[in-house]
Amino acid sequence: MSTTVVNTGTEGKTWGGGNRPLNASYGKMMMWFFIVSDALTFSGFLAAYGFSRFKFIDSWPIADEVFTHFPFLHGVNAPMYYVAFMTFVLIMSSVTMVLAVDAGHHLNKAKVTLYMFLTIIGGLIFVGSQAWEWGTFIKGDYGAVQTKGGNILQFVDTEGHRVALRDFVVVDAHAERTQHERKEGLWFVSEGTLPTYTVEEVLHGLETHDNILVRTQIIDEAGEKTVLSRAESLKQIKEYGKVVVEGANLHVNEYGSPLFADFFFFITGFHGFHVFSGVIINIIIFFNVILGTYERRQNYEMVEKVGLYWHFVDLVWVFVFTFFYLV
């Protein structure tokens, strides 16, 4: 090795190397710059959400009426409690992460291991909750009818409470329509799952139940959705009703504007993907901690770097929570 140049003769000078600009190590600084760029990606999504919402400001779904479910409490109206719980879980896992970083500064391997483990558990609970939230959202609850113009018509009783299609629509057993599958006809033509009811059945159900009214997407001055009169309700369904919508996908959803579901899937999905990769990275670092990699290095900075990423995921969720669920 004697032939290798070890010294440049410029040590101690500004450009001699070994300096740490901004007093941060290379890895930490790059993690910060990555976070800035990722923050811009997320703000792009959220700003696009804001754009669509401002475009449909008088007919956007009201989040309180969409996210009303809580696991194991079926039929209980619990707006936002579950999301609040998820937020708390994520903040809590952020806390255990920062405690792991702190224990790393004291080179306390046992404590780093414990706190990293708790962080991973918190992350898994969050991802699981999000999966449940998606499941509930996709499945839907009340069902609605979409008009030719793409508007969503929902059903309420005379007191303004939501009514599900299953409560007043009866399937006409004689008018059975089977789902077309590729094996039964043209092999290159197929169709998606058929809704439980047809528009005619919904109309029939509406005609036979005097206490059911149609609620449109339009938000009135009081900030509530407009409920139509009985005659107008029948007219809307009869003249404009086109498809029955149950639940949500990328094309239609029973909650209102299709864009609402698109943004829901895209933004919470992208965030969930971040949480998921965060959990994977945390698991890798967790095993490194157990194996004593950082113990030998006498430096737990890796924990600090994944910590930065993990807190960032929490930070994004705080904004998603506000703009998707609260505002």
Partner 1 sequence: MAHEHKLAIFRGLVKFKSNTQKIWGVLIFLTFVTAIEVILGILKPESLMGQVLGMKALNWIFIILTIVKAYYITWDFMHMRDELKSLRRMVVWTAIFLILYLIFILLQEGGYVFNVYKEGFIKRDF
Enumerate binding residues for partner 1 (CB under 8 A).
22-24, 29, 32-33, 35-36, 39-40, 43-44, 47-48, 50-58, 64, 79-81, 84, 87-88, 91-92, 94-95, 97-99, 101-102, 105, 148-151, 223, 299, 307-308, 311-312, 314-315, 318-319, 321-322, 325-327
Cβ closer to partner 1: 168 or 266? 266
If you write DSSP's letter for every residue of 108-143 in order, what string do you get? -HHHHHHHHHHHHHHHHHHHHHHHHHHHHHHH-SS-
Cα–Cα distance between 213 and 229 in angstroms, integer? 7
Sheet holding 225-227, edge to edge: 225-227, 212-219, 152-157, 144-147, 241-245
Q: What's the closest the beta carbon of residue 68 comes to partner 1, in angstroms?
A: 11
What one-character DSSP code corresponds to residue 190? Answer: -
Nearest CA to 67 among 268, 205, 239, 210? Answer: 268
Cβ closer to partner 1: 168 or 240? 240
Cβ closer to partner 1: 29 or 121? 29
Q: What's the closest the beta carbon of residue 181 comes to partner 1, in angstroms?
A: 33
Q: What's the closest the beta carbon of residue 186 comes to partner 1, in angstroms?
A: 31
Instruction: Find where tokens 């706190």 sit.
Output: 115
Alpha-carbon distance values, 273 to 68, 187, 213 (Å): 24, 36, 41
Q: What's the closest the beta carbon of residue 314 comes to partner 1, in angstroms?
A: 6
Q: What's the closest the beta carbon of residue 196 comes to partner 1, in angstroms?
A: 26
Cβ closer to partner 1: 189 or 318? 318
Cβ closer to partner 1: 13 or 242? 242
